[in-house]
Chain A
Amino acid sequence: MSGGSYYVPASSKWPIFAGLALAAMLVGLGILLVYGWGSWIMGLGGVAILVVMGLWFRDVIKESRGGLYDAQMDRSFRWGMGWFIFSEVMFFAAFFGTLFYVRTFALPWLDGEGAKGVSALLWPDFAASWPLMNPPGSEIEGPRGIANPWQLPLVNTLFLVTSSITLTIAHEGLKAGHRDSARNCLIVTLILGVCFLLVQGFEYYEAYAHLGITLQAGIYGSTFFLLTGFHGAHVTVGAIILASMLWRLQCGHFERDNHFGFEAAAWYWHFVDVVWIGLFLFVYVF
Chain B
Amino acid sequence: MAPKLPPKAPLEHGNSITGGASAHEGEHHYRSGPLRWLLTTNHKEIGTLYLIFSLSMFMVGGIMALVVRLELFQPGLQMVQPEFFNQMTTMHGLIMIFGAVMPGFVGLANWMVPLQVGAPDMALPRLNNFSFWLLPIAFVLLLSTLLMPGGGPNFGWTSYAPLSTTYAPPSTTFFIFSLHMAGISSILGAINIIATILNLRAPGMRLMDMTLFVWTWLITAFLLIAVMPVLAGVLTMMLLDINFGTSFFNAAGGGDPVLFQHLFWFFGHPEVYIMILPAFGIVSVIVPTFARKPLFGYSSMVYATASIAVLSFTVWAHHMFSVGLPLVAELFFMYATMLIAVPTGVKVFNWIATLFRGSITFETAMLFALAFIVLFSIGGFSGLMLAIAPADFQYHDTYFVVAHFHYVLVPGAVFSIMAAVYYWLPKWTGHYPDERLGRWHFWLSVIGVNLLFFPMHFAGLAGMPRRIPDYALQFADFNMASSIGGFLFGFSQLLFIWVIVKCVRGGVKAPARSWDGATDLEWTVPSPAPLHTFETPPDMRRIES
Chain A residues with CB under 8 A of B201 = 1-2
Instruction: Give A18-47 interface residues, CB cut-off 8 Å to B.
Output: 18-20, 22-23, 26-27, 29-30, 33-34
Instruction: Return the contact of B119 from the options A2, A106, A122, A215 (Cβ within 8 A).
Output: A2
Cα A101 to Cα B246 with chains together (Å): 16
**Of B40, B126, B191, B192, the contact of A14 (CB 8 Å cutoff):** B126
Q: Is the CB of B30 within 8 A of A79?
A: no
| Assembled-state Cα–Cα distance A18/B38 (Å) | 12
* Interface residues of chain A: helix, strand, loop or mixed (majority): helix
A-B contact count, CB below 8 Å?
244
Residues on A with beta carbons closer than 8 Å to the beta carbon of B171: 34
B204 contacts partner chain A, Cβ-Cβ < 8 Å: yes
Contact of A87 among B202, B228, B239, B252 (CB under 8 A): B228
Q: Is A144 an interface residue (CB 8 A)?
A: no
Asked if B245 is at the interface (CB within 8 A of a chain A CB), the reply is: yes
Q: Which segment of A173-181, A220-228, A254-262 sits at the interface? A: A220-228
Enumerate chain B residues within 8 angstroms of A122, measured Cβ to Cβ.
251
B210-249 to A contact mask, C-beta < 8 Å, 1/0 = 0000000000000001111110111001011001111110
Q: Which of A110-118, A148-156, A267-275 lies at the interface?
A: A110-118
Interface size on B, residues (CB 8 A): 93
Contact A79 B126 (CB under 8 A): no
Interface: A202 (CB within 8 A): no
**Which residue in chain B gives the minimum CB-CB distance to A220?**
B254
Given A9-B41, A26-B180, A106-B254, the answer on whether A101 and B120 have CB atoms closer than 8 Å is no
- The stretch among A92-100, A184-192, A238-246 that forms the contact with chain B is A92-100
A95: which B residues are within 8 A, CB to CB? 233
Task: Confirm or deny: B77 has a beta carbon within 8 angstroms of a beta carbon on chain A.
Answer: no
Q: For A8, what are the chain B residues with a Cβ–Cβ distance below 8 Å?
A: 41, 120-121, 125, 532, 535
Size range of the chain A interface in the assembly: 35 or more
Cβ-based interface call for B255 (8 A)? yes
Residues of B contacting A84 in the complex (Cβ-Cβ under 8 angstroms): 187, 191
A116 to B124, CA, bound (A): 50
Assess A93 versus B5: contact at CB under 8 Å? Given A98-B259, A106-B255: no
Which residues in B have their C-beta under 8 angstroms from that of A2?
118-120, 200-203, 534, 537
Question: Which residues of B lie under 8 Å from residue A94 when comparing CB positions?
Answer: 229-230, 232-234, 263, 266
Q: A252: which B residues are within 8 A, CB to CB?
A: none
Provided the pairs A115-B326, A135-B254 are in contact, do residues A98 and B191 lie with their beta carbons within 8 angstroms?
Answer: no
Nearest-neighbour CB distance to chain A for B440, whole angstroms, equals 39
Cβ contacts B460-497/A at 8 Å (1 or 0 each):
00000000000000000000000000000000000000
CA distance A132 to B250 in the complex (A): 14
The 8 closest A-B CB pairs, nearest first, are: A137-B252, A94-B233, A219-B254, A15-B130, A2-B537, A91-B229, A11-B39, A106-B256
Listed in ascending order, the chain A residues whose CB lies under 8 Å from chain B are 1-6, 8-16, 18-20, 22-23, 26-27, 29-30, 33-34, 56, 72, 75-76, 79-80, 83-84, 86-88, 90-91, 93-95, 97-98, 101-102, 105-107, 109-110, 114-116, 118-119, 122, 132, 135-137, 139-140, 215-216, 218-223, 225-226
